Amino acid sequence: MSTEASAVNGTAPPARSTRDLSRAAMSGWLGTAMEFMDFQLYSLAAGLVFNTIFFPDVSPAIGLIAAMATYGVGYFARIAGAFYFGRMGDTIGRKKVLFITIAMMGGSTTLIGALPTYQAIGILAPILLVLLRLVQGFGAGAEIAGATVMLVEYAPKRRRGLISSLVALGTNTGTLVATGIWAVLLAVLSDEQLQSWGWRIPFLASFVLLVFALWVRRNVKESPAFEGRDDVVDGVALDRAELKKAETAHGQSKLEAGLKQRKGRAFVLALLLRLGQAGNSGLIQTFLVGYISSTLAMDKAVATDALLIGAATGFVTVPVIGMLSDRFGRRPVYMLMSGLSVPLAFPALLMITSGSNSTLMLGMILGYNVSVLGLFAVENVTMSEMFGGRNRFTQVGVAKELGGILGVGIGPTIAAALTAATGSWWPVAVMLIVYSLITFVTAYLAPEVRDRDLSALEDAA
């Protein structure tokens, strides 16, 4: 964190203790765990049961496409939430926004578990599902960006990659918990029980985690980098007119550097970096789960068990990759992981579609750890360091969510359509290669941002 005095308000960034850092880490971990638990609960439900519960009057292939599209619609709300809450977070601080977003996100997830089905109320059932998905997405749009920014701004310079990996571990925890719940449900309930009432259990149970997460966030202090920013006075960022009235010559020159910089290049780079990870995630964590059970007609528990083991393995993968990025830089690690994803795509799909449960699980675990978690471990810190302090929250959030729309939101729907049209899995492998190559080339073109001064108001590119 910066130790320079604030040029406008004349104060240094407030000191934060190890205990403060621990609370911020717990808050970020819990929030992202909850977001990705909700994400995985919904994505697995979309692939396993929502096609018959909310879209029962169509063929299995069309039902899967409809369920994937309903799943994807939340991502359009996420980008609106990222922009709205991101601007708020850059103006009034990270803490207040993160409290609001987790309440919206968790409340909507709980209510999904109370929805009536298509059989009970007809077309109104999928309409209500879409509405709750929109509210959930609007709140979630700024959750992971805010948690990421908060942790990176709290972290010591040489440990940002490792500490920000807690965000990725939070997503991994959420994935593990949600996948574990679904694995248990699939193991102990019949299809009839799962379709009638069992699918509601994980959504309703998420309320317990929501209450705990809200309690934790009430006790977290504001980001020291935000409070010590040159353009922040009394906890609120000055607007452009107020900045022009700044009397300190040193501060005026620093502020001008951030305000007059031509924007856009850093955002495009961050967006493309995000696209590779998000696209791979949508294909592996969402589409393939439904494809394995509906198209390959294999046991539904096989794919969820594979993700369960893959998420557990990620508790080693993620922090190691975070530490490597602290040691060698963000660009080399990004290029390594995305480079490995390209030759892995076809072998992984061959294993997944082999018909053997053990081979399928190995393919899913490898793809998940290399092509999803491997990129996500370094994504959060890189995107946060890419942007200047004045609009870091907004740009990280919008880049993440726009990449999510293009990758996780739209990708599974495209994959469902392509595999239905071709009758084969090879389009999925091609999509994995394209997403990974986009990330590799972007990392090659991007500047190295490791150890960048987060008090700077200008972007790194």
For residue 227, what pLDDT is reported?
Answer: 77
Domains of the chain, start order: 18-218+260-445 (1.20.1250.20)
Most confident of 22-31, 93-102, 117-126, 328-337: 328-337
Task: Pick the closest to residue 42 from 77, 87, 12 (CA basis).
Answer: 77
As a whole number, mean pLDDT of residues 235-258 equals 59
Instruction: HSE, CB side, 13 Å, CA atoms: give it for residue 51.
Output: 24
Q: What is the DSSP string of 342-353?
A: HHHHHHHHHHHT
Beta bridge pairs of residue 237? 232
Mean pLDDT, residues 341-355 taken together: 92
Q: What is the DSSP letter of 424?
A: S
Mean pLDDT in residue range 113-125? 82
Q: What is the mean pLDDT of residues 46-53?
A: 73
What's the pLDDT at 4?
A: 36
* Packing angle of the helix pair 374-386, 392-404 (nearest 10 deg): 140
**305-333 mean pLDDT:** 91
> Mean pLDDT over residues 201-208, rounded?
87
Q: Is the pTM of this model over 0.85?
A: no
- Compute the residue count for the chain: 461
More confident residue, 226 or 266: 266
Tokens at 284, concatenated = 């592996």
Alpha-carbon dihedral sign for residues 335, 375, 90, 86:
positive
Q: How many helices and strands, by DSSP H and E, does the chain display?
A: 22, 2
Cα(92)–Cα(217) distance, integer angstroms = 16
Confidence of residue 68 (pLDDT cuts 50, 70, 90): low
Q: How many Cα atoms within 13 Å fall on the side-chain side of residue 102?
A: 33
* pLDDT value at residue 60: 60
Strands (E), 376-437: none
Position 231, amino acid: D
Q: For residues 392 and 387, give the distance between their C-alpha atoms in angstroms, rounded to a whole number.
A: 5
Q: Give the contacts of 104 (CB within 8 A, at least 6 positions apart).
A: 135, 136, 138, 139, 140
Geometric angle at alpha carbon 275, from 273 and 277, rounded to 5°: 80
CA-only gyration radius of the chain, Å? 22
Nearest to 385 by CA among 441, 309, 334: 334
- Per residue in 141-189, pLDDT (tens digit) is 888 888 889 889 888 888 899 988 888 788 778 877 887 888 888 888 8
Give residue-wise pLDDT tens across range 387-438: 988 889 999 999 988 888 888 778 888 998 999 899 899 999 999 999 999 9
* 406, 280 Cβ separation under 8 angstroms: no
Q: How far is CA 132 from the centre of its chain?
A: 19
